[in-house]
Structure 1
Amino acid sequence: MDIDDLIAGVIAREGGYSDHPADRGGPTNMGISQAVARANGYYGAMQALPRTLAESLYRRLYWDQPGYGFVAETSWKIAAELFDTAVNMGAATATGFLQRALNALNRNQQDYPDLKVDRLLGARTLGALRAFRALRGASGDAVLLKAIEALQGERYIALAESRPANEAFLYGWLANRIGSS
C-alpha cells in the first residue's frame, strides 16, 4: 500500500458530488470542498472537478504538507490514519491527536519527554514516535492507533452535540472514518 492507494480509498469513501444542506463546507466532490478547490485555483463547477486535481490536492495538502511521509518511515499504519483524519478534520487536528496520544502513552515521561501539543509535525514529534516504536515495536501501532481513533471519535460526538445539524453526518463519520485507514 502507498499514498496512491490511500488517496483512492478516500475518494471511494467520499463519493462524487454532494451539496448537503447541513454541510457547512458547501458543495464537495470526491471529498474536496468548494472552499479548498477555490483556495487552490479551481474555479470551475464542483460537479466537474477533475479526479486528477482531487488526487493532487489530497497528496499535497494532506500528505506532503503535514509531513506524513516522514511518519510512514516509522509506521505506515499511523501515517495512513493521520492522512485519513487530516482529510476529514484537518492536518493540525490529526497531528494534535498524535501528539496527545504519544504524551498519554509515554509513562509519565519515562520513555520520552512530553510533546508540546502545537499540532505541527516536527523533529520532536517524530522522535517521540520513533522512541515509542522502539519500545513497543510494531504491536504498539495498534495501541497508538486506538488512542488516535478514540480522540477522533470523541471529536465527532462533540461536533454532533454542539451542532445538531452534524448529527446527519455522525453515523457515517463513525462508520467510515474510525478504523478506515
Structure 2
Amino acid sequence: MDRNFARSLKHVLKHEGGYANNPKDPGGPTNKGITLATFRSYVKASGSVADLKAITDAQVATVYRKQYWNAVNGDALPDGVDYAVFDFAVNSGPSRAAKYLQAVVGASQDGKVGPGTLAAVRSKAQTLVINRLCDDRLAFMKRIKDSKGRSLWATFGRGWNSRVAAVRAEAMSMAGQRPTATKDRQDTSAKQHWLAAFFAALFSIFKRG
C-alpha cells in the first residue's frame, strides 16, 4: 500500500549503508544503495560524485519509488507483502522479486506484478505469502555463486540471513501478525488439527446419546 512506502524505505535504508567507492565494485560510487549511474538516470543527468554524496532524503525516496516500489506495484500490494517484495527487489532486482512472488501465489511468472498477480496475492493470507516469499528468498541466496562458481553464502550468509529475518518480522508486523518460526507454525497447525478431531469425536458421542 502507498501508505507503507515511507516505512518500508526506512527499513530498506538500514541495510544499504552510506557512501562507498570500492574499486572492486563495478557499480562505482554508491550512496544509500544508489549508484552514480542510477542517480543520473532518476535525479540529475549531469550529477557528479559530490552530488551523489549530498543526495537528499527526497531524492533518495524518488529513486527507490521509481526504480523499485513502482516496478513491483507496491501501492497495490497488501500490507506487509508490499515491504517484503520491495526489499527483495532492492536486493535482487524487481523482475526476480516479482517472479518469486508469482511462484508463491501460483501466478504466471512474467516478472510483472499486474492484475492477475494481484488477484492471486489477494486470494492468499498475507502471512502465508510473506513467510513463503522470505523462505524462497533465502533459498535463492544460498544458491548464489561468484564468477568462479563458488558459493557466496559462507561469506555473506550471516548478513543476508539477518536481513531477511528483519524483513520477515517487520512485514509480519505491518500485516498485523506476530512472526513465528517454522516449527511454531507447524506445532500450531498440529494442535489445531488435534482439537478439531477431539471436538468432532465429542460431538459424535453426544449425537449418539
Same fold flag (TM > 0.5)? yes
Say whether 1:44 aligns with 2:31: no
Q: Residue 85 of structure 2: which of 58, 61, 82 is its match?
A: 82
Match for 1:171: what amino acid? R
Q: Which has the larger radius of gyration?
A: 2
For 1:92-122, what per-residue CA distance to the aligned partner results, in whole angstroms no more than 9, with x for missing partners?
111111100112xxxxxxxxxxx22101011
Q: State whether residues 43 and 59 of structure 2, in contact with CA within 8 Å, keep that contact through their aligned partners in structure 1.
A: no
Identical amino acids, percent of aligned pairs: 25
Q: Residue 160 of structure 2: which of 173, 176, 181 is its match?
A: 173
For 1:63-85, what per-residue CA distance to the aligned partner results, in whole angstroms no more than 9, with x for missing partners?
123311111xxx21111101111
Q: What aligned pairs does 1:1-181 form with structure 2 within 5 A after superposition?
A: 2-42=4-44, 43-45=47-49, 46-71=52-77, 75-103=78-106, 115-132=107-124, 140-160=125-145, 162=149, 168-180=155-167, 181=170
Quick one: structure 1 residues 165 and 99, their matched pair in 2 at CA, closer, same or farther if it must change by over 3 Å?
closer
Higher deviation after alignment, 42-51 or 28-37:
42-51
How many residue pairs get aligned? The number is: 160
Cα RMSD between the aligned structures? Answer: 2.4
- Give the secondary-structure state (helix, strand or coil) at the position aligned to 2:80: helix
Higher deviation after alignment, 26-35 or 84-93:
26-35
Structure 1 unaligned runs (5+)? Answer: 104-114, 133-139
Q: State whether residues 100 and 133 of structure 2, in contact with CA within 8 Å, keep that contact through their aligned partners in structure 1.
A: yes
The CA deviation at 1:157 is 1.6
Distance 1:26 1:17 in 2: 11
Structure 2 unaligned runs (5+)? Answer: 171-209
Quick one: structure 1 residues 148 and 39, their matched pair in 2 at CA, closer, same or farther if it must change by over 3 Å?
same
Q: 1:108: which partner in 2?
A: none
